[in-house]
Structure 1
Amino acid sequence: MIHLHNLVVGYQGYGLAEPINGGFKRGSLTAIMGENGAGKSTLLKTICGIQPAVSGSVSINKAVSLSWLPQQADIDRSFPINVFDVVAMGCWPRKSMMDSLRDADIAKIYAALDEVGIRDLVNFSVNQLSGGQFQRMLFARLLVQDADVMMMDEPFTGIDSQTQDVLIKLMCKLHQSGKTVIAVLHNPEMVADFFPDTLAINNACIHWGETHDVMANCKLFHRQDRMAVRFG
């Protein structure tokens, strides 16, 4: 579905890690892990076409649609827009920005808000939301967009445990429905519990495969205190 060919990601011609070779299969659920600065977020941006590759290439099957959930820190929360309008942005890939929303679109927006549990916040401005409420809103937008591939950059960082549980269950539901989900994470226990596949990126090595094999063979997980490793 998505294939990486000797892909080196980075900025201004400087690579952040070794070349990556491999592919994300249709319907897979993959965690991307690595230490700070290893190029995890940059990899997602490169796959999306937001960031150019330093070298190598990304090939994506025709007719495959992509969606991207950025880190909350990358989003300007001061922009005057409400929850409904943010979630409605998920409709844009299927229509012109000048098109009006149809009844079916509006129904889909409210169904997504119900799914993540924030229908009562539909008219709230985004700057009124807590971190957990904001992330639920972004997940609702993903549901409305309904892309084949859903890429998420640290989707569980900085949110309350209740929201984390809701969103993990939703992510697993999406995977079970056949969606391809790729997420940058920093919690090894969460990866071991929920993600069948892992791509571990380190400056010196790349490990990609079934999660239990990657954790057994990648030095990234062999620290004396695994939880002390600073992932980001």
Structure 2
Amino acid sequence: MPISVQDLTVSYRHHPAIHHINVQFDEARAYAIFGPNGAGKSTLLKAMMGLVKADTGRVEFQQLQRQDIAYLPQQSDVDRSQPMTVFELAAMGLWYKIGFFGRVNKAQKVRVHEALQRVSMDSVAHKNIGALSNGQFQRVLFARMLVQNARFLLLDEPFNAVDAATTFALLEVLQQCLKQGKSVIAVLHDYEQVRAYFPNTVMIAREVIACGKTEQVLTDANLQAAFAALQTGHANKEWCEVPQNKLVEE
């Protein structure tokens, strides 16, 4: 049951952020979305979630329901000023069961505490989220995602501004999710993280530069092509008329 991105273009103020993206994400796989700064990586993820409007194309969720897809935004996109405890934030992963203002029953409380235990945050479940460090807050956002128990996990720069110990711990959590048959799709900027933990990579520079097995995608030639495409994109009048890219093939 893949997620299929077909001919997807998103523009801001008439300038394409991504254009004519075609890619398929299969179940039980780990994918990195990788590319230079300004390549449209986060835009692609937001477009997949319907958070930004597409100019062309569509995203098809093959027999998937909305609750089958969990989205972890960048920390800067999350309001930490809300008077909310660690437990309450993690419990928001139950939104599809109880809504955003419903009560959590006994079994669901156990589920939330188990998720917090997996990220080593259950001991501070009562604490206000405004008092957390960046690393602690990211752990709670991971717990919220785990509570949802979705089949596809979409993460936008999940290790940005997070310490090394937390990064390692959360990467291990994602490895556990993969072993449970979930798919992980993460926007990343760390070359070594991609090579070590993500067997599949989609490299973009507004358009798809390469996609497939990570060792075949993360090459010097593809990296040079990505930087070149980003630099010349706006100057090329034929840019949005280039042939569509091929789907990822495993």
Q: Same fold (TM over 0.5)?
A: yes
In structure 1, give the amino acid aligned to 2:201.
Answer: T
Separation in 1, partners of 2:12, 2:225 = 29
Question: 1:77·1:126 contact (CA, 8 Å) conserved in 2?
Answer: yes
Partner of 2:7: 6
User: What code does the residue aligned with 2:46 have?
Assistant: K
Aligned 8 A contact 1:18 1:206 in 2: no
Q: Distance in 1 between matches of 2:107 and 2:141?
A: 20
Q: State the alpha-carbon separation in 2 of the partners of residues 112 and 79 from structure 1.
A: 21
Aligned-residue CA RMSD in angstroms? 1.8
Note the C-alpha offset of 1:14: 2.9
TM-score (norm 2): 0.84
Q: Are 1:10 and 1:16, in contact at CA under 8 Å, matched by a contact in 2?
A: yes
Q: Where do 1:23-172 residues align within 5 Å?
A: 23-64=24-65, 65-172=68-175
* Structure 2: gaps of 5 or more residues: 227-250
- How many aligned positions are there? 223
2:240 matched to which residue of 1?
Answer: none
Q: Deviations over 1:178-206 (max 9, x none)?
A: 11110000001110011010011114652
Q: Output aligned runs, 1:143-222, within 5 Å.
A: 143-203=146-206, 205-216=208-219, 218-220=221-223
Give the unaligned 5+ runs of structure 1: 224-232
Which residue identity lines up with residue 131 of structure 2 in the other structure? Q
Q: What amino acid maps onto 2:58 in structure 1?
A: S
How many angstroms apart in 1 are the aligned matches of 2:3 and 2:14? 23
Distance 1:204 1:135, change over 3 A: closer
Q: Which runs of 4+ in 1 moved over 4 A?
A: none
Give the letter for the 1:176 counterpart. Answer: K
Percent identity over the alignment?
38
Q: TM-score, normalised by structure 1?
A: 0.90
Give the 3 Å change call, closer, same or farther, for CA 222–20 of structure 1 in structure 2.
Answer: closer
CA contact (8 A) 1:12 1:54 kept: no
Q: How much has 1:160 moved relative to structure 2?
A: 1.2
Q: 1:159 deviation in Å?
A: 1.0
Equivalent in the alignment of 1:228: none
Residue 222 of structure 1: how far off its partner (Å): 8.0
